[in-house]
């Protein structure tokens, strides 16, 4: 969801305020209403408690004249309190018919509400039965209390409550907005800092010192991303330099040889030699460029597609056979151990195994044995090539699979080995969802790669 965090927080503050104030307002109003009702009931009960014994005491209609006078005197002029005595006998009746027209003598004793025509608020009634005594029949005595003053209090209170609640909510929203703007200040500072990072300077980092805890993590991750970018940038720069360097040697040779040849008259055989030599240089450049293209493809996430079911042992034997001349040169013996069936791109497999075997042949002690191991390791097939040879320094071991990296820098550029062989092994492994490894221990140097379950299906 887009939008301003400050606005969102202000809205949340306002919603919280609405919830809190409306709940407390409803509770307050309920409690006030209840206490006002209790007050009205108390007043009615009080009046009954004073008058009931009087009414019960008098028996004859003559004596009831006194009662009527007493009730007259107790009825205020504004008729806030009213009395009714209901009886079939008109001598005892008082107060006339009930304003709502209901026959209240048939209702149960107790509190009730009576709507009065022309009056906004109802009357609260307390009815009681006065038992018959002597000649006097049973009577019903009702005291009514106008609820208008009480309801007035309640409505004034409600209005005040609504007003203060609205004010409170508005204030909470404003305060929320201000608090969140104030609280988000470090975020703004961080973004300003990120904005002011100068382009081209890959060493720049955000200053995490002045940031609050919550933003430290973000800034640290951001700095981590910058560091990774810097590393990739350095690799790219180094890589460019390497490519230029690798191509410069054959180009210099080509130019030099051609210039020398052109300086004098040459006979056909000399020119043929020159072309032959130039062709070799061109082929070398072609190999580098092709290898680079292959690596670029693998790096962009290309996967092996031409998969076929093969026996690794059979395929390895074919590679060994193909390299027979190189191996015979140094009287090397190759042993293949283990076997398994996998689904792989056999062309790529040959290419990477050939690279490993060529390296092994190059660095193996003369007349020693090179071992090709094919091991199933859980869901992975591991292919490794070991040869007897000089121990490799661990400083080099972890870098040997990088492009153009050679442990022996002095010998590096003297021959056709341009340091891409192991990078290609790594690319083939990653195209099969695997990885590479190198070990140097007990006089044995082992280089290998794995193929994951995806290709073992």
Ligand X SMILES: Nc1ncnc2c1ncn2[C@@H]1O[C@H](COP(=O)(O)OP(=O)(O)O)[C@@H](O)[C@H]1O
What does the per-residue mask of binding to ligand X show for 344-383, with x meaning CB under 6 A? -----------x---xx--x--------------------
Residue linked to tokens 């809205």: 11
Name the minimum Å distance from CB 421 to Mg ion: 3
Stretch in the footprint of Mg ion (CB under 5 A) among 63-71, 209-217, 353-361, 393-401: 353-361
> CA–CA separation, 69 vs 63, rounded Å?
10
Q: Which is nearer to ligand X, 157 or 363 (CB)?
A: 363
DSSP three-state, residue 304: coil
CB of 299 to ligand X, least distance (A): 16
| DSSP string covering 36-75 | HHHHHHHHHHHHHHHHHHHHHH--SHHHHHHHHHHHHHHS
In a 3-state reduction of DSSP, which class is residue 308?
Answer: strand
Number of chain positions touching ligand X (CB under 6 A): 20
**Shortest gap between Cβ of 388 and ligand X (angstroms)?**
10
Least distance to ligand X from the beta carbon of 338, Å? 20
The interface mask with ligand X, positions 422-451, x = CB under 6 A, is x----------------------x-x----
**Contact between 419 and ligand X (CB under 6 A)?**
yes
Asked if 184 and 5 count as a contact pair (C-beta separation under 8 A), the reply is: yes
359 belongs to the binding site for Mg ion (CB under 5 A): yes
Nearer to ligand X by C-beta: 266 or 396?
396
Sign of CA dihedral 61, 64, 66, 72: negative
Nearest alpha-carbon partner for 440 in 398, 391, 402, 405: 391
| Contact of residue 418 among Mg ion, ligand X, none (CB under 5-8 Å per partner type) | ligand X
Which residues make up the interface to ligand X (CB under 6 A)? Answer: 355, 359-360, 363, 387, 389, 392, 400, 405-408, 417-422, 445, 447
Residues that bind Mg ion (CB under 5 A): 359, 421
């Amino acid at each position: 969801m887009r939008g301003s965090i400050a606005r969102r927080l202000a809205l949340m503050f306002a919603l919280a305020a609405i919830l809190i104030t409306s709940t407390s307002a409803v509770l307050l109003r309920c409690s006030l209403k209840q206490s006002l009702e209790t007050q009205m009931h108390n007043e009615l009960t009080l009046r009954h408690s004073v008058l009931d014994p009087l009414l019960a005491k008098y028996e004859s209609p003559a004596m009831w004249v006194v009662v009527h006078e007493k009730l007259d005197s107790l009825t205020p002029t504004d008729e806030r309190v009213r009395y009714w005595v209901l009886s079939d006998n008109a001598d005892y009746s008082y107060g006339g018919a009930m304003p709502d027209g209901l026959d209240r003598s048939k209702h149960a004793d107790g509190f009730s509400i009576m709507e009065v025509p022309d009056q906004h608020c109802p009357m609260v009634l307390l009815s009681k039965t006065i038992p018959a005594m002597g000649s006097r029949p049973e009577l019903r005595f009702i005291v009514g209390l106008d609820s208008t003053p009480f309801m007035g209090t309640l409505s004034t209170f409600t209005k005040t409550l609504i007003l203060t609640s609205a004010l409170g909510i508005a204030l909470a929203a404003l305060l929320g907005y201000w608090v969140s703007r104030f609280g988000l200040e470090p975020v703004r500072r961080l973004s300003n800092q990120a904005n002011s990072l100068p382009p081209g300077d890959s060493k720049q980092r955000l200053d995490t010192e002045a940031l609050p805890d919550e933003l430290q993590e973000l800034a640290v991750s951001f700095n981590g991303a910058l560091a990774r970018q810097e590393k990739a940038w350095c690799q790219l720069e180094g890589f460019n330099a390497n490519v230029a360097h690798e191509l410069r040697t054959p180009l210099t040779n080509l130019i030099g040889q051609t210039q020398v040849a052109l300086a004098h008259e040459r006979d056909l055989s000399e020119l043929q030699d020159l072309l032959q030599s130039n062709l070799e240089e061109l082929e070398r450049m072609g190999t580098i460029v092709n290898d680079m293209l292959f690596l670029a493809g693998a790096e962009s996430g290309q996967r092996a597609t031409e998969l076929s079911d093969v026996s690794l042992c059979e395929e390895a034997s074919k590679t060994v056979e193909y390299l027979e001349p190189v191996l015979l040169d140094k009287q090397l013996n190759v042993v293949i151990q283990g076997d398994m069936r996998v689904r792989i791109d056999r062309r790529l497999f040959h290419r990477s195994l050939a690279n490993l075997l060529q390296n092994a042949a190059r660095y193996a002690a003369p007349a020693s044995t090179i071992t090709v191991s094919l091991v199933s390791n859980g869901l992975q097939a591991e292919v490794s090539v070991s040869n007897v040879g000089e121990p490799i320094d661990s400083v080099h071991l972890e870098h040997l699979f990088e492009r153009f990296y050679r442990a022996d820098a002095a010998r590096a550029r003297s021959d056709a080995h341009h340091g891409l062989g192991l990078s290609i092994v790594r690319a083939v492994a990653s195209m099969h969802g695997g990885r590479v490894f190198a070990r140097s221990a007990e006089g044995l140097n082992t280089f290998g790669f794995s193929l994951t379950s995806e290709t073992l299906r």
